[in-house]
Amino acid sequence: MWRQPVAKDDGFAVPAGVNKQYAVLANELAEKGKTVESREWTVNLITEAAEPWFDKHGTHFRAPEAGETHHIEIIPTETSTGRIVPSTEFFKLNVTVQN
């Protein structure tokens, strides 16, 4: 289960924008996510409807094609602190759900 990052008593204040990102993550996980813990790492998975995105070069805006129904956001966090792991890429994987 996702946890709010642990605050250290060292006078360091987390910027408001960072707090907002954690709140958005918590809300999305509660609505449509799943969390898997594996020792020191927690993997947060959020499944949403397919949506447009820029290609890897940021030059072409691509709409989902027919049959591309979902994307999965993968957000790794440290299990002990709840902090989002820095310098990682967020992957979007398009899948087709068959009933």
- Is the residue at 40 inside a domain? yes
Strand partners, 73: 46, 92
Of the candidates 23, 18, 56, 26, the one whose C-alpha atom is nearest the C-alpha of residue 44 is: 26
- In percent, the amount of the chain with pLDDT more than 90 equals 13
Total domain count, the chain: 1
Report yes or no: 76 and 41 within 8 Å, Cβ to Cβ.
yes
- Is the residue at 85 inside a domain? no
- Is the residue at 74 inside a domain? yes
How far is it, in rounded angstroms, from Cα 93 to Cα 91? Answer: 6
Report yes or no: 78 and 2 within 8 Å, Cβ to Cβ.
no
Show the domain range for 31: 16-78
- Is the residue at 99 inside a domain? no
- Is the residue at 90 inside a domain? no
Is the model more confident about 7 or about 25? Answer: 25
- The model carries a pTM of 0.64
- Is the residue at 53 inside a domain? yes
Is the model more confident about 59 or about 67? Answer: 67
- Is the residue at 42 inside a domain? yes
Backbone angles phi, psi at 24, to 5 degrees: -65, -45
Mean local confidence (pLDDT), 6-28: 74
